[in-house]
Amino acid sequence: MSTREFEQTITSETELREILGTPTQRAADKVIDHIDEHCAALIAHSPFLIISSADANGNMDVSPKGDPAGFVKVLDEKTLVIPDRKGNRRGDTFSNILENPKVGLIFLTPGYQETLRVSGTARIVRDKALLESMAHKGSVPTFATVIDVEKALFHCAKCIIRSGLWEHDGVEGVPNYGSILVDHANLDQTAEEVQRSIDESKVENLY
């Protein structure tokens, strides 16, 4: 836990609202409890989402998920399904769901400035027909995460506009992943060796 001290810290909802104010009625009323045609349209065009989860002790995790647009299936207005693709086998989200099934999602769609927030209760499923319906490039997912939807809302575009997210062509000043892994995982390989294996995995082990 950080021991850094700050002069002013908000500690109550009353203090928060005195400074922040209250949302407009339009902002307060925009939350719905299902996936309607507008939500479904964005999900069908979204190739990327972020899912947040927590274990029984409240320790948080956030994980990215990406695939061709429409990879998340809308089974009905209360049910979403996310296929699991090959990765590093950490399974942090799955482990958390087994302890605490509450999750939150944010869908991002390149070229579309608003984001979609969905929250609900998650289950890990292995129904054969469902998994086979989400196969891609001949690879059938081992698991799928089913979300029982409780809340959905579109988030305004200001954060995307301020960030210029869809305007960037590249990133400079950040080391490659191989260099980062050598430091963070204390590896005895060179950054070049690690990066080479990462690049090979991106091609040979994507699905």
Neighbouring CB atoms inside 10 A of 25's CB total: 8
pLDDT of residue 189: 92
State yes or no: pLDDT of 86 exceeds 90: no
Q: Please, which pLDDT band fits residue 34 given cuts at 50, 70 and 90?
A: very high
- Mean pLDDT (the chain) is 93
Structure tokens that stand for 167 in this block:
């305007």
pLDDT of residue 140: 95
Taking the C-alpha atoms of residue 181 and residue 198, their distance in angstroms, rounded to an integer, is: 10
* Residue range 45-74, pLDDT digits in tens: 999 999 999 999 999 999 999 999 999 999
State yes or no: pLDDT of 87 exceeds 90: no
Mean pLDDT of 9-38: 93
What is the layout of strands, in order, in the sheet containing 102-109? 60-66, 48-54, 102-109, 112-125, 144-155, 79-83, 73-76
Mean pLDDT of 36-41: 94
Taking the C-alpha atoms of residue 46 and residue 48, their distance in angstroms, rounded to an integer, is: 6
pLDDT of residue 93: 97
Mean pLDDT of 105-128: 96
pLDDT of residue 53: 98
Structure tokens that stand for 53 in this block:
């989860």
pLDDT, greater one: 125 or 185: 125
Paired with 152 in beta bridges are 32, 118
Neighbouring CB atoms inside 10 A of 153's CB total: 15
Mean pLDDT of 131-135: 96
Q: What is the pTM of this model?
A: 0.87
**Nearest CA among 149, 143, 140 for reference residue 122:** 149
Which residues fall within 8 angstroms of residue 26, CB to CB, at 6 or more apart?
none
Structure tokens that stand for 143 in this block:
């698991």
Taking the C-alpha atoms of residue 168 and residue 143, their distance in angstroms, rounded to an integer, is: 34
pLDDT of residue 174: 83
pLDDT, greater one: 29 or 56: 56
Judge contact between 101 and 75, C-beta under 8 A.
no
Structure tokens that stand for 121 in this block:
């209760």
* Residue range 157-197, pLDDT digits in tens: 899 999 998 887 777 888 888 999 899 988 999 999 999 99
Domain with CATH 2.30.110.10 in the chain: 22-169
pLDDT of residue 124: 98
Coil, strand or helix: which one is 80?
strand
Taking the C-alpha atoms of residue 204 and residue 38, their distance in angstroms, rounded to an integer, is: 36
Taking the C-alpha atoms of residue 49 and residue 32, their distance in angstroms, rounded to an integer, is: 19
Please state which of the four CATH numbers 3.40.50.620, 3.20.10.10, 2.170.150.70, 2.30.110.10 is assigned to the domain occupying 22-169: 2.30.110.10
Q: What are phi and psi of 66, to 5 degrees?
A: -145, 150
pLDDT of residue 24: 85
**Nearest CA among 73, 2, 81 for reference residue 43:** 73
